[in-house]
Amino acid sequence: MSLVIANERGNVTFADDVVEAIAVRAAEGVARVKVRRRRSVDIAGSRVKLHLGAVRGDAPLTEVGARVQTAVRSAFMTHLDRTILVEVAIEGLR
């Protein structure tokens, strides 16, 4: 399902893959994170689910997950003016 944002000049429609790309790019902007293929964006339910691989480092994995949540929420607010819930599952560790 595409995201349609109405304004006084008409509608702006974002394809699913564009919305997903915003989430993935924001998540992968966090150091040591790689988003796996299993992911979903549910705009109607205001929810993003991301399955991640992480690289070992100094920060606890809980902190890495929290950084991803913050980055994705911020990207959706910045680019789409939408507040969302971000669910993160860390499935791999390198």
Rounded Cα gap, residues 53 and 59, in angstroms: 14
Task: Report pLDDT for 3.
Answer: 87
The answer to whether residue 79 is domain-embedded is yes
The answer to whether residue 4 is domain-embedded is no
The answer to whether residue 8 is domain-embedded is no
The count of domains in the chain is: 1
Rounded Cα gap, residues 64 and 14, in angstroms: 28
Polymer length in residues for the chain: 94
Q: Which domain, by its residues, includes 55?
A: 17-93
The answer to whether residue 6 is domain-embedded is no
Q: Which residues of 56-66 are buried (b: 16+ CB within 10 A; e: fewer)?
A: eeeeeeeebbe
- CATH number, domain of 42, equals 3.30.70.1350
Rounded Cα gap, residues 68 and 63, in angstroms: 9
Query: Where do the H-state alpha helices sit in 1-94?
Result: 16-28, 61-80
The answer to whether residue 23 is domain-embedded is yes
Distance of CA 40 to the CA centre of its chain: 9
The answer to whether residue 87 is domain-embedded is yes
The answer to whether residue 28 is domain-embedded is yes
The answer to whether residue 2 is domain-embedded is no
How many Cβ atoms are within 10 Å of 12's Cβ, its own excluded?
Answer: 11
Digitized pLDDT (tens) for each residue of the chain, 94 residues in all: 688 888 999 999 999 899 999 999 999 999 999 998 888 888 777 889 988 888 888 888 899 999 999 999 999 999 998 899 999 998 888 8
* pTM of the shown model: 0.87
